[in-house]
Each structure stands twice: as C-alpha cells, then as structure tokens.
C-alpha cells in the first residue's frame, strides 16, 4: 500500500507540473498576443539579463524536476525489487542530479535579483472594466 501511495503522489506531482506547463504556455501566448497590456514601468525588468536568466533557470528547473518525477514513477512502478531500483548510477543522475541542477539554476538566477528588488515597491490594485475585474501590480509612486 505504501508503494501505491508513493506512486499516486508522484503521478499527482507530474499532473500538477503538466498543468503548470499548460498555464505557463497560455501566459506566454497572452504576453505575445497582447503586447499593449504590458506595464511600461516593468520594461527594464523584462529586458534585463538577470530576468532572462531567471526565465531560463525556471525552465531548466521545471524540466529537471519533471524528469526526476517521471524517473521515480518508472522506478517505483516496477516494485521494490526491480532492476532499475537496484541501479545506483541512474538513481544518482536522475534523482539527486536533477534536483541539484534545479537548485543551482535558481541559486545562480535568484528571483530576488531577477526582479531587481522591486517587490518592496509593488502594490496591487483591482479595477472594474467592461471585461470584468482586472488585477494588476503597480510600482509605488516615488
């Protein structure tokens, strides 16, 4: 029963990562198709190398964690005594190796540096329009 619970948890993690990927792709599509909705005061962040590096790090982190989860599902699906379960090299590469790459990616391109420490100057607002309610982040006036 413990093995089945672990499998269900890992499969759930894969499904939520898949949903995250779909939502990210939908966000990217909206950014590309509605460029006039981008806030001008955040342009310096979007164009910075730090932010571009952060986006690459986020992609790398997603891919490595996804690979790790798929590996763990395949490994656990064969039971506790299968050949893959007893192989140390794939485990080191596809388990701790993937997590290490993800951690180092975000350590090198930390979100705090990517957003240029702008979080302290942000506030949110909700405005009603003909499309419904629009929530947005704005910089505090200096």
Tens-place pLDDT, residues 24-76 = 999 889 888 888 888 787 788 888 898 899 999 999 999 999 999 999 999 88
Domain that holds residue 38: 2-111
Share of the chain above pLDDT 90, in %: 44
| CA gap 11, 73 in Å, rounded | 7
Residue 132 in domain: no
Report the number of distinct structural domains present in the chain: 1
Residue 130 in domain: no
Residue 134 in domain: no
Residue 52 in domain: yes
pLDDT of residue 138: 64
pLDDT of residue 117: 63
pLDDT of residue 67: 95
Residue 65 in domain: yes
Please report which helix (H) or strand (E) contains residue 138, including its range: strand 132-139
Q: Tell which residue, 128, 118, 63, 68, has the closest CA to residue 94.
A: 68
């Amino acid at each position: 029963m413990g093995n089945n619970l672990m499998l269900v948890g890992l499969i759930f993690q894969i499904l939520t990562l898949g949903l995250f990927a779909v939502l990210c792709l939908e966000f990217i599509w909206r950014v590309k198709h509605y460029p006039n909705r981008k806030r001008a005061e955040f342009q310096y962040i979007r164009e910075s190398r730090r932010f571009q590096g952060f986006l690459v790090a986020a992609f790398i982190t997603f891919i490595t964690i996804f690979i790790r989860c798929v590996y763990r599902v395949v490994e656990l699906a064969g039971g506790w005594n299968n050949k893959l379960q007893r192989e140390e090299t794939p485990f080191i590469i596809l388990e701790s190796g993937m997590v290490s790459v993800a951690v180092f990616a975000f350590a090198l391109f930390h979100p705090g540096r990517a957003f240029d420490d702008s979080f302290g100057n942000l506030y949110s607002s909700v405005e009603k329009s003909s499309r419904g309610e629009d929530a947005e982040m704005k910089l505090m006036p200096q």
